[in-house]
Structure 1
Amino acid sequence: MIEEWSEFNVAMAGATAALVGLVIVASSVNIGEIIKSRTLTARLLAGIAALVLALAVSAISLVPGIDRFWFGVVTIFVTVLAAIFQVHATRLIATDPDPADQARPLKYLVGFLPLFAYLAAGALVWAGHPAGLYLAAAGCLLAIVSAIVVSWVALVEVLR
């Protein structure tokens, strides 16, 4: 069932790899200002981790002959690794002392969406349910959208 998704995964692996590079380059332009912020560095890192997660899952699915067991196990494992960065960013955002920050939950909740999709995808594929691959596709698209949103917001905040 995984092989049927090869064209989608080739496209997503290329797209996420390109986006990782673009986010890193765009961030490096203003890195001096970004590192002055208590939360921006962690948010950017969580966004990059989400893109790397999407890249990893797309690449894993392209391994010739990979079975559902290993796809599920590796997907869950790399999702947990990416979650470490999102949890760290969430802690920093939640404890940010700026009382004017009304959008605080939105700053970190968006980063958990692809993680939840990938965890469910890994578990479902591991169990042999093909719906897990649709969740993996949703996780990939959510990772791209959330990383773009986080990156854009971070880069705009630096210039304020």
Structure 2
Amino acid sequence: MTHTLLEGWSDFGVAAAGATAALAGLLVVAMSVNVAEIMGSKVTVAGARTTIASLVLAIAASLLILPAGQTLGGLGIPALVLAVAASFVQVAAIRTQGHAEAEGMTTGVRAVSIGLAAAEHVPFLVGAVLLVAGVDAGLWWLVVGIVAVVVSSMVNAWVLLIEVRR
């Protein structure tokens, strides 16, 4: 039996897609203003890349909620593919940050950065698996992932706009 999304989720999808798309636009502007400083460090390049990948994941997951009659599995399968792809980008960034002592990144900053990275992708992976299994609680996991991406992206946007100039 296929389960369709509950009524009202499309409103969340519209709001989340708009918010994350606006944030992605602001991040691109921040990166273009400081492109020389960002390109001067493997850590900031990795941070910019993973932030964009996370925002694309959040935007796409939000848009996948929108089609009328969408089934849980119909949302879960592409969400899982996107979450796995974005997680590969995230793991590569974490590996880069693991070698960041030479660039002045302290252990505490690195730990917070890695924690934020995990906090934003794990909910997408859990939610997508639940949705594929037909469990509607997976939608709430996507919500947690989208909120985590917004928070993490705001922090990363600050770093890419302000902190790279210090």
TM-score grouping bracket, smaller chain normalisation: over 0.9
Verify the 8 A CA contact 2:123 2:145 in the aligned structure 1: yes
Cα RMSD after superposing both structures? 1.5
Note the C-alpha offset of 1:65.
Answer: 2.4
Residue 76 (str. 1) matches residue 76 (str. 2): no
CA distance in 1, matches of 2:71, 2:12: 18
Note the C-alpha offset of 1:93.
Answer: 0.4
Q: Which residue of 2 aligns with 1:94?
A: 98
- Within-5 A mapping of 1:2-151: 2-4=5-7, 5-98=9-102, 101-103=106-108, 104-151=110-157
Per the alignment, in what secondary structure is the counterpart of residue 135 of structure 2? Answer: coil
Per the alignment, in what secondary structure is the counterpart of residue 39 of structure 1? Answer: helix
Percent of counterpart pairs with the same letter? 37
CA distance in 2, matches of 1:94, 1:25: 27
The 1:76/1:27 distance shift into structure 2, 3 A limit, reads same
**Runs of 4+ in structure 1 displaced over 4 angstroms?**
none
CA offsets 1:92-143 (integer angstroms, 9 cap, x no match): 1001233661221212220121210011111111212121111111111111
CA distance in 2, matches of 1:2, 1:42: 35
Per the alignment, in what secondary structure is the counterpart of residue 2 of structure 1? Answer: coil
One-letter code aligned to 1:72: G
TM-score (normalised: structure 2): 0.90
TM-score (normalised: structure 1): 0.93
- Residue correspondences, number: 160
Which sections of structure 2, spanning at least 5 residues, go unmatched?
none
